[in-house]
Amino acid sequence: MNAIIQAQPASMQTQASTDQQLITLWLHGKSQHSQRAYLADVERFLNVTDKPLQNVTLGDLQAFVDGLTGSDNTRKRIVSSVKSLFTFGQKLGYLQFNVAAALKAPKPKNTLAERILSESEVLTMIALTAKERDKVLLRLLYASAGRVSEICGLCWRDVQPSGDSGQVTLYGKGGETRAVKLSKETWKALQSIRGSAGPHEPVFASQMGGAMVPSRVWQIVREAAQRAGIVGNVSPHWFRHSHASHALERGASVALVRDTLGHSSLQVTSRYTHAKPDQSSALHLAV
């Protein structure tokens, strides 16, 4: 079943008479990235079951889940997407029953500890990186706990003085905005690479002059890990995990780390923070 959905205007209808209309309504208002991810998950389900949503049974759903491949986290995400669609369909009145309500997602293995670098590893990765821009990039990934998309999207207008150092404003998932105060050392390092760049220019520019793309950040991180002799598929997100772990170890409160990372809870990442924070968990780190 083809479930490719085109973006709809804000004035779209609020009722659905077909699966395709239901999915369009379900996706409406989500970010483009989220729409692509949700749609891929639902298309995978529709292609396997090959029947209208109104005819799907709990047995169909369970068979789909049992046949899923991939990591535990991937399977959990797919099940969550499908359950969300069925919940939405019932609320809208398109589905009489939410047969997915009783469906349980597979529990993922806790592999977080495997993705936390030691302080020594982080500092070695930074120290062994020769190019100053890349060195600052690694430092900011760690200090700000920013997601790679947030770091790539930074412009100099998002970098502002604050007290005796400065802060960066990160724009994250679902319109989430947070300001992260940096240490004096990281602020000085960040300012050192600005040169004559204007406020609307990217902090980390590509050779073509535009913003650095996430794939290039991944490459810089992988190369830095190799130079430091770190085994594993180290990604930019490891710096985010490491920031949280190290800040807590150094005495930052759980609430402060949560706010710096942009988490309103363990499950939800959609919280606005103060525009001029006096503190952040970045100030508890060694950079």
List the catalytic residue out of 222, 227, 237, 271. 237
Q: What stretches of 10-110 show up as alpha helix (H) in DSSP?
A: 19-27, 32-49, 58-66, 72-92
Nearest to 106 by CA among 77, 85, 82, 83: 77
Among this protein's residues, is 178 annotated catalytic? Answer: no
Annotation marks residue 240 as catalytic: yes
Known catalytic membership, residue 36: no
Distance from C-alpha of 93 to C-alpha of 17, rounded to nearest angstrom = 10
**Active-site residue identified among 91, 272, 274, 276:** 272
Of the residues 147, 178, 243, 284, only one is catalytic, namely 147
- Rounded CA-CA distance 241/215 in Å is 19
Q: Which strands sit side by side in the sheet containing 159-162, from one edge to the other? A: 159-162, 165-171, 177-182
Indicate which residue of 28, 115, 173, 227 is catalytic. 173
Rounded to whole angstroms, how far apart are CA atoms 91 and 20?
Answer: 16
Q: Which of 240, 241, 243, 258 is catalytic?
A: 240
Q: Which of 75, 77, 263, 271 is catalytic?
A: 263
Residue 83 annotated to the active site: no
Tell me if residue 173 is catalytic: yes
Sorted by sequence, the CB contacts under 8 Å of residue 285 that are 6+ apart come out as 142, 143, 183, 243, 246, 247, 250
- For residue 192, the 8-state DSSP code is T
243 is catalytic: no
Specify burial of residue 87 (Cβ count, 10 A radius: 0-12, 13-18, 19+). middle
Q: Which residues are catalytic?
A: 147, 173, 237, 240, 263, 272
